[in-house]
Structure 1
Amino acid sequence: MTQPSRTAIESALAQYRDPYTGTDLLTSGCLRSLDIDGGHVRANIVLGYAAGGVTGGIAQMLKVAVENVEGVASASVSVRWQVESAPAQGSIPALHNVKNIIAVASGKGGVGKSTTAVNLALALAREGARVGVLDADIYGPSMGLMLGLPEGTRPQVSNGKAFVAPQAHGVQVMSMAFLADENTPMVWRGPMVSGALLQLLTQTAWDDLDYLVVDMPPGTGDIQLTLAQKVPVTGAVIVTTPQDLALLDARRGIEMFRKVNIPVLGVVENMAVHVCSNCGHSEHLFGEGGGERLAEQYGVDLLASMPLSMMIREQADAGRPTVVAEPECQISMIYQDMARHVGARIAARAGQGSGMPNISISDD
């Protein structure tokens, strides 16, 4: 049997273009090893983002591609993923046991930011990542309710020094709502709010997180500045609706993150279209294409365009967001796709793909 050509095998592997990184596996450095032993080929692929939902399918496609190369009798292709820490802004030290911090922000309230944050976190966890959620909306914390944690939930304290974050649906959660009465308003000035945020973040014993999703309050105020100056943020996700007023405020949010050197990972457009449950008629109640224009204007990705759906609201209110309530539905698939895009953008910042593959060839 003819010895298979290494170049031909590499070419077969390079035919697969990762839809989340936009590059082939060789260019991105995901091919970690390639062993050729006569007609038997073993390839080891490592993606830089949580992708548990797609690795099996990728491995099967690559196996078929390699086995179609002349001289290859059999191929074994392993595809796994590994999340690394990406750089944060300035020289802010990393947070212990947290690899990457994702700020989910909006210029104004009422655009579905918290719903996006919770479903993003759950989607990342469903891909296999270790994920936490920090409810940074001190004045209006909602993560406990959205994740189905019962009223009166309180975090345990470890060694009298740190909070142990409660868990819901496999995600670690920390919120001011766990430390105060549900009906007591936080009548605090800015410095107190900023101090509370830092305490929640640094005095919680996060358990080896790949991603910590921070649900930000709307606007560009004290908490946003505190986050930018004292918290190592990997990147921000901006949430908006297609409405002109929301887009105007979203632009301010993007500009703020740019000024403080926090990269914007992309834009999520909520309430993009409403489909009548009775007749199926589609209508753009808040305008059309606004999120896409915003993303294009700032040179970032449109991570997702979500419909205006009663189901999303009802499931979040019931403590079982869409990703866990109906994991196989179309809306959940959009959230999963969004999570992989966010992870891929972070992987690019972490330098995934800068390395060269280790290739060994045996003529045995």
Structure 2
Amino acid sequence: MTDRIVLGIESSCDETGVGLVRLTPDGAVELLADAVASSVEEHARFGGVVPEIASRAHLEAMAPTMRRALTDSGLSLSDVDAIAVTAGPGLAGALMVGVASAKAYASALGVPLYGVNHLAGHVAVDTLEHGPLPSRCLALLVSGGHTQLLLVEGIAEKITEIGSTIDDAAGEAYDKVARVLDLPYPGGPPIDKQAKQGDPAAIAFPRGLTGPRDPAFDFSFSGLKTAVARWVETEQRAGRDIPVPDVCASFQEAVADVLTAKAVRAAHEFDVDTLVISGGVAANSRLSALAAQRCADAGITLRVPRPRLCTDNGAMIAALGAHVLASGAQPSPLNMPANPGLPVETIVAG
């Protein structure tokens, strides 16, 4: 058996990603190219992603991003042996652009098509950085649209959700708090920057769903976001200046505290010794630092991809596609639909 080249296409939200990986006969996956075009600046003035704008941006960016990925890798389309594409979850219109493009490329090249799960891709991307995952591990996905704890028993075979957010995802809370504080969108980077100058113990913001009768592994950040808004409003009414760094640090500490505490607790309960953190919020400095500290104390191996791989990208879809190809899974049919609500348990869409 020879090396096989897998091309991955990602278009679930506001990044158009095309990645290329090499799958070796021994199952290793090597990153060859990772080209991304973001439409985040087009959404910034609205304070969040506008689905129609995202879809049009994907249409405009798909071909140029594909050309860039091929140039970066030194390959041509004729070198591609399989194509993977995000089939869901995500924005319906955005997904349709990527799925339609992948079908066209797969049909023209005569190669198998794999419609794969965006969330599983966030787990698979870590193998590009740190090598194969253990047979069982825990994944914490933290992004603008998802906050989930997943039990991974084979990245191409079985993923089970053991906890999820019941309202706002962590990234959504960051964006909403940034808006309250007149910070730029998306809120993660500016809040993280401000927090480094603040006191994380300055304000006692609540930790959602951490009571003894609350669901052990579910999350809630809506109450925290509201608490920040109410605190700021009270201070403004009293005519006091808002200590933005302290607010950011205290808010960020509350988010990181809940995420890491529940992840470590889940690792113990499900008897796993490796935790993967991925998704855009995984690049947050306080989350990574607190996770490293608590995992070290608990004897858990922590794996976090580099920041560029944590955000949405084509490399993660190509990586997952390579693992699915290596597993011998059946390709997806060419009439496969995009599925905005694709459950994480469905790794390959049929």
Query: Taking structure 1 as the reference length, what is the TM-score of the superposition?
Result: 0.27
Query: Taking structure 2 as the reference length, what is the TM-score of the superposition?
Result: 0.28
**Structure ranking higher in helix proportion:** 2
Larger Rg: 1
